[in-house]
């Protein structure tokens, strides 16, 4: 064994295009003699991955990971990253709001809601970090595989990732001419067209271009505008150039982009805008009544250059250079009402440059290692406005504020004139209609890291693995919060004392620095040639940052620098990997335990009297522990089965003051951390000689247990009207997905019928309390189905 530990392997055997030791097939056929007869025996080699920056079989990589191959991407009809999480245990990826996408691994994840707060799980394409939440939900365009790595990954990836990493590996240009065209149509007026063309330019140069265009109608009716929400309008593309000046030297250049312009549903309101009673506007499921259609736009693009040189002595040096540009905007009717009381417009832009150098030792010795240097530079800018709408006086002041204030002025709330209502509005601190509460500014981040990992084989049974990473990260902020028009919500203003609504705010200037030394060690033992046991310890950290959000003036005064501290993790893992039936059956089990100290929590905080603050704090401790199991079985030459299951116990071990009104939520479950998750799939192929084709049938079941969405761990909310609504808990969900089709034996044509969520499960995927106190949720998309035609040439 030449790895620092043996890992939990999870790739379906149906991923027929994944590489093996032979390079391009999942099974080699050999002839053996038995009892005087020759029997054909299939030997199933391991899928090749590059998570460790070496080309290794999946069974040899030194971390716990799962793989979703290109055939699985096609056969399951997933088209974007958020859709694969159901197939991988203890992993969830939100898919309904790309502006603040969240990836959770083993109960731990976060959205980078503001530019001063980083995500915990990194997404990489060919080794290049994609950036913050708006860039996370990538289209799965012409990929070889998706690798999901659990736990801290600072010894393998340049950007520090405290919970895990998702690595997208593209298909590189080849030295032959070929291409692919596909058309996919379905319900909700789905229209998806993809194209790929690979062209050899010369003996040493090849190019590839891939493009995808997807349009889909929404499934939520906005009865005010007559339009549908949760639409999809996405264009994705990638151009690649592969240059091989010699057998030792390879250069890969790529430019990719994604443009999305969607009408979105942030949430379907359960209540009126102020959380007082059940919504009177559109109480029917999947219907809302907003005065305009919320929108989300994303323009994500970037370029990379990967240069690899292998010396005659077997050492390899590698350089990965990346540039990413993400521009995202988002608007929402934050009053969730058919009149314009209040609305938000957010715009974020991220520009980042990364550079990584690696030295990789030869793989044919007992001692192997990789060393790396990494540089990361990000410039983030934001402009976020909350605007008092045209109906703010009638929709908020008259029904909510005036009944409390008018009697103090000896006025009758029922007979107030527009002028008197406007006076009351200004008296309690609100600006005129059309005025804004705004936050804007920039954060510059610069990070340096050095890391090394490796392994030493004591003998054929025992292997010691090791790793260490040292990181420094500097952040500087120039940010202005102007809450002078926020009235009774008492949003603060930077460099202004609480209660002062006349002094103009000035920008907050601050900087902070974090550094951390992360060690890792593992020990693996080959119990037999087919059974391996490993134990592993790893550590990591997530840097601190700045809470650049709409902050209550008292909180701002208490933390005028808006800083929160770094969090750290100590992670432990035990695993057992087994291979049976000459590689046709694998069974992998793992147990894990992780302690997060000074865990960063981003949450809406109910301050009472209709006031809400958005706060980032460092909880004392979080513990996640659980079990994971995965299997793959090539039952016959025509039938393969694969499945996974995960058990998760993720809790706030200590979090005093973390709940509503400062309640102690120590012992409560983390948000978005289902206790159980599972998947089961089957792929059946059969030759159909009459049409010179192969029939392919695939059926998958995915299951996610229920989970809480607030630190309070509630399942219902009692409104001031005494009405009780379901809130704070998402029920379990089981979904069935399937595909059936014919593939011509010459490989030129494919035609399929497909369906997702075949039983039309219409549960929820999220809920939360918005700024005004509105309780909202987000329903799951129902049954989708369609037909696809693929032409290969």
Higher pLDDT, 202 or 46: 202
From residue 790, give the alpha-carbon distance in Å to each of 78, 210, 335, 683: 16, 14, 45, 19
pLDDT for res 100 = 75
27-390+434-792: CATH superfamily = TonB-dependent receptor, beta-barrel domain (2.40.170.20)
CB within 8 Å of 727: residues ≥ 6 apart: 270, 714, 715, 716, 717, 767, 769, 775, 777
Rounded mean pLDDT, 754-772: 93
| The predicted structure's pLDDT at residue 756 | 95
- CA–CA gap between residue 451 and residue 53 (Å, rounded): 13
Q: How far apart are CA 171 and CA 4, in angstroms?
A: 27
- For 477-490, what is the mean pLDDT? 94
Residue that wins the pLDDT comparison between 174 and 554: 174
The C-alpha angle 636, 641, 645, rounded to 5 degrees, equals: 155
Say which residue, 601 or 544, is predicted with more confidence.
544
Confidence of residue 7 (pLDDT cuts 50, 70, 90): very low
Report the alpha-carbon distance of residue 159 to residue 279 in Å, rounded: 44
User: Which DSSP string corresponds to 336-405?
Assistant: -SSS-SEEEEEEEEEEEEEEEEEEE--SSSSEEEEEEEEEEEEEEEEEEEEEE-TTHIIIIIIIIIHHHH
- Distance set, CA 468 to CA 157, 315, 454, 474 (Å): 12, 20, 10, 20
The pLDDT of residue 235 is 97
Instruction: Record the tokens describing residue 397, joined without a space.
Output: 């002041």
Summarize pLDDT for 238-265 with one digit per residue, the tens: 999 999 999 999 999 999 999 999 999 9
Q: 53 versus 245: which is more confidently predicted?
A: 245
672 DSSP 8-state letter: T
Element (H, E) at 228: strand 227-229
Positive or negative torsion for Cα 62, 63, 69, 72 = positive
User: What pLDDT does 622 receive?
Assistant: 95
**CA nearest neighbour of 469 among 402, 541, 534, 406:** 541
The string of pLDDT tens digits covering residues 617-676 is: 887 799 999 999 999 999 999 999 999 999 999 999 998 878 877 788 999 999 999 999
Query: Average of pLDDT values for 189-198?
Result: 98
Per-residue confidence (pLDDT) for residue 221, from 0 to 100 = 97
DSSP code of residue 158: S
Tell me, what's the pLDDT at 343? Answer: 97
Q: What is the pLDDT of residue 238?
A: 97
Name the band, by pLDDT with cuts 50, 70 and 90, for residue 357.
very high
| pLDDT at residue 28, rounded to an integer | 37
pLDDT value for 8: 31
- How many CA atoms lie less than 13 Å away from 57 in the CB half-sphere? 13
Q: Specify whether the CB–CB gap between 764 and 727 falls below 8 A.
A: no
The span from the CA of 13 to the CA of 681, in Å, is: 11
Q: What is the three-state SS of 50-118?
A: CCCCCCEEHHHCCCCEEEEEHHHHHHCCCCEHHHCHHHCCCEEECCCCHHHCCEEECCEEECCCCCCCC
Lowest mean pLDDT among 38-47, 201-210, 278-287: 38-47
Among residues 725, 785, 787, 728, which one has the least CA distance to residue 759?
A: 785
Q: What is the pTM of this model?
A: 0.89
pLDDT tens track for 99-112: 778 889 999 987 66
Taking every pair of Cα atoms in the chain, the longest distance, rounded to a whole number of angstroms, is 108
As a whole number, mean pLDDT of residues 272-280 equals 94
Distance of CA 405 to the CA centre of its chain: 46
Ramachandran angles phi, psi of 265, nearest 5°: -115, 110
Beta bridge partners of 718: 724
C-beta neighbour count of 620 within 10 angstroms: 17
pLDDT score of 707: 96
**pLDDT for position 362:** 93
Residue 137 has pLDDT above 90, yes or no: no
Cα dihedral 174, 176, 177, 178 in deg (nearest 10): -60
Task: Please tell me the number of Cα atoms within 13 Å of 319 on its side-chain side.
Answer: 9
Whole-number pLDDT of residue 102: 85
Predicted pLDDT at 222: 98
Least confident piece of the model among 112-126, 405-419, 423-437 = 112-126
Domain with CATH 2.40.170.20 in the chain: 27-390+434-792
Q: What is the pLDDT of residue 257?
A: 96
| pLDDT more than 70, % of the chain | 90
């Amino acid at each position: 064994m030449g790895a620092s530990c043996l890992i939990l392997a999870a790739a379906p055997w149906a991923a027929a295009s994944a590489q093996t030791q032979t390079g391009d097939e999942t099974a080699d056929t050999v002839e053996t003699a038995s009892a005087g007869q020759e029997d054909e025996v299939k030997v199933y080699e391991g899928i090749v991955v590059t998570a460790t920056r070496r080309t290794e079989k999946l069974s040899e990589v030194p971390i716990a990971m799962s793989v979703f191959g290109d055939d699985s991407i096609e056969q399951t009809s997933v088209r974007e990253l958020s859709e694969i999480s159901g197939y991988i245990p203890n992993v969830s990826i939100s898919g309904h709001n790309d502006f603040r996408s969240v990836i959770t691994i083993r109960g731990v994840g976060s959205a980078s809601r503001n530019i001063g707060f980083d995500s915990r799980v990194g997404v990489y394409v060919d080794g290049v970090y994609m950036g913050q939440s708006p860039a996370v939900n990538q289209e799965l365009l012409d990929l070889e595989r998706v690798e999901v790595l659990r736990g801290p990954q600072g010894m393998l990836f340049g950007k520090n990732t405290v919970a895990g990493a998702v690595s997208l590996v593209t298909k590189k240009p080849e030295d032959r001419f070929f291409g692919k065209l596909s058309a996919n149509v379905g319900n909700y007026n789905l229209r998806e067209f993809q194209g790929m063309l690979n062209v050899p330019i010369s003996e040493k140069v090849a190019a590839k271009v891939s493009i995808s265009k997807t349009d889909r109608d929404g499934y939520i009716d906005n009865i005010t505008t007559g339009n549908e929400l949760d639409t999809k309008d996405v264009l994705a593309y990638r151009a690649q150039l592969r240059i091989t000046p010699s057998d030792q030297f390879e250069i890969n250049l790529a430019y990719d982009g994604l443009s999305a312009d969607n009408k979105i549903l942030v949430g379907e309101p359960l209540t009126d805008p102020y959380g007082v009673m059940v919504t009177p506007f559109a109480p029917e499921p999947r219907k809302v009544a907003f005065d305009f259609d919320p929108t989300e736009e994303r323009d994500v693009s970037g370029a990379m250059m990967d240069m690899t040189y292998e010396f005659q002595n077997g050492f390899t040096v590698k350089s990965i250079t990346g540039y990413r540009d993400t521009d995202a905007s988002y608007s929402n009717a934050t009053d969730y009402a058919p009149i314009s009381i209040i609305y938000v417009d957010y715009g974020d832009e991220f520009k980042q440059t990364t550079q990584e150098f690696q030295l990789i030792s030869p793989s044919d010795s007992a001692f192997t290692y990789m060393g790396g240097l990494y540089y990361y530079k990000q410039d983030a800018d934001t402009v976020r406005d909350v605007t008092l709408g045209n109906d703010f006086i009638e929709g908020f002041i008259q029904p909510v504020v005036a009944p409390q204030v008018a009697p103090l002025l000896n006025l009758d709330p029922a007979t107030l004139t527009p002028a008197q209502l406007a006076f009351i509005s200004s008296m309690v601190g609100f600006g005129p209609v059309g005025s804004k509460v705004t936050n804007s500014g920039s954060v510059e981040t610069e990070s340096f890291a050095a890391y090394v990992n490796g392994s030493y084989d004591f003998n054929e049974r025992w292997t010691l693995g090791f790793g260490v990473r040292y990181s420094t990260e500097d952040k500087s902020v120039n940010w202005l919060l102007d809450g002078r028009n926020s009235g009774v919500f008492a949003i603060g203003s930077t460099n202004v004392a609480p209660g002062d609504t006349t002094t103009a705010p000035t920008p907050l200037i601050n900087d902070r620095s974090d550094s951390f030394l992360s060690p890792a060690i593992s020990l693996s033992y080959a119990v037999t040639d087919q059974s391996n046991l490993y134990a592993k310890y790893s550590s990591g950290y997530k840097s601190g940052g700045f809470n650049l959000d709409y902050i209550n003036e008292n909180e701002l005064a208490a933390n005028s620098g808006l800083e929160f501290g770094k969090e750290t993790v100590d992670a432990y893992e035990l695993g057992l990997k087994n291979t049976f039936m000459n590689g046709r059956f694998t069974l992998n089990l793992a147990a894990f335990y992780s302690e997060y100290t000074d865990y960063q929590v981003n949450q809406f905080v109910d301050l009472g009297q209709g006031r809400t603050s958005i706060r980032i704090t460092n909880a004392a401790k979080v513990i996640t522990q659980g079990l994971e199991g995965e299997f793959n079985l090539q039952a016959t030459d025509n039938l393969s089965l694969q499945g996974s299951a995960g058990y998760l116990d993720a809790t706030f071990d200590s979090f005093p003051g973390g709940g509503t009104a400062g309640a102690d939520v120590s012992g409560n479950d983390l948000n978005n951390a289902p206790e159980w998750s599972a998947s089961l799939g089957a792929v059946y192929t059969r030759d159909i000689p009459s049409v010179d084709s192969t029939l392919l049938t695939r059926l998958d079941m995915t299951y996610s247990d229920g989970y809480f969405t607030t630190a309070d761990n509630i399942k219902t909310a009692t409104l001031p009207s005494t009405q009780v609504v379901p809130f704070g808990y998402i029920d379990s969900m089981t979904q069935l997905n399937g595909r059936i089709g014919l593939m011509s034996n010459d490989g030129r044509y494919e035609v399929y019928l497909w369906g997702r969520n075949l039983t039309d499960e219409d549960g929820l995927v999220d809920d939360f309390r918005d700024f005004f106190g509105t309780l909202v949720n987000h329903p799951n998309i129902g049954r989708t189905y369609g037909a696809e035609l693929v032409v290969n040439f």
